[in-house]
A and B are shown apart, each in its own frame.
Chain A
């Protein structure tokens, strides 16, 4: 049970109706629809940050799931566990991102390990990020990727806190998929 009313197709404000055209848009959009002018700018931004882009889906889901686990966002971890699997991460990699096993036991690619160290520093640290972590990332990723992936960490954290604070519910479909994949 969410802490706020989730707008439905029947109660959707005029400017939010596109998001409800195909039925339930999910609890994030359904909650944001209470403030349609915010939904109107937030969803395109979130879509640009979290959706398909010049960076392949695998590293993006690596960032999203790892950040969500670090932030202990139940909703986002549940939602992105199947997405990460569909993006090509194997069971151990997903489990490691979910903080259920050691990262270095699941990942060996230096670029991915550098990215995960960056995610850990950005999501959990305070103040400036350590030079060694930044230099490690820069050794494997071009600057424009670093910019985009850092925005991705921040956007995911925004969603993590939003979903956790408002106790947005996971869908039955997601919970069934987690059970099937052994992540229940």
Chain B
């Protein structure tokens, strides 16, 4: 058993591995961590890379896979790639669900019945409030897509991203009533804070955190491996490096071991005292 798998089994290292499938998106949300938008460089992972990461993650003892972006479903290969990955480890993929016309929904049939879920963003029970941060017609497209996905045998989760106080008790109750009416249980609804990174900085939104305050979930991107999916954020077109673990991502054991060392702590060596200038 490797040190990484022991750390996962002991609960010292989270079992989830994230992948940033891409950075481009058809939306430009005000709180986007990665400044994603139409026209930004894709910086995507190939199908082969994603399957390789999932395969190695399983071998290392990781327990599940999260896929995010950008809008991952802009990648044509994604449905079949996710179907392959879901055969390896339980998988979920974040999406804004605004691309799911009938033609694209047909491509998702390969995911039906798999150990897979799509996590869709829905930030308010009120269309105008939701669309203020996520863009025009977002609410309408999401509530239209969710039942269609469920009808096709795909599990759907809802993620609500919000500022403290923005969603009061009444809003929360109406939002829960809405997701229940769409066929989504309370267990599949999560509420999370906006994080003050990426475009949220420009809009003065979100809360700040230290690495110790977020799970050390290994996150693989085209730019390297990071501590948590909140790591590879983008500000003014540059990827933040403060939560960078390594540029090397293959084999996965390299960043996994470096992350384990960062999590477990390590003694300071003389190398930090020499001060080569």
Contact = CB atoms under 8 A, between A and B. Distances in A.
Interface in A15-71: 15, 18-19, 21-22, 25-29, 33-38, 40, 43-44, 46-47, 50-51
Contact of A14 (B243, B247, B254): B243
Contacts of A25: 275-277
A26 B269 contact: no
Nearest to A46: B276
Nearest to B242: A11
B211 A14 contact: yes
A28 B275 CA distance: 10
A75 B40 CA distance: 37
Contact of B276 (A36, A40, A47, A171): A47
Contacts of B274: 43, 47, 51
Contacts of A29: 276
Contacts of B243: 13-14
B276 A34 contact: no
Contact of B241 (A7, A19, A26, A47): A7
A36 B246 contact: yes
Contact of A37 (B247, B272, B276): B247
Contacts of A18: 268, 272
Contact of A12 (B241, B258, B272, B277): B241
B241 A51 contact: no
B262 A15 contact: yes
10 contacts: A7-B241, A11-B240, A13-B241, A15-B246, A18-B268, A25-B276, A26-B275, A38-B247, A46-B276, A47-B274
Given A15-B258, A37-B248, 8 more contacts: A11-B241, A14-B245, A15-B245, A27-B277, A37-B258, A38-B247, A47-B271, A50-B276
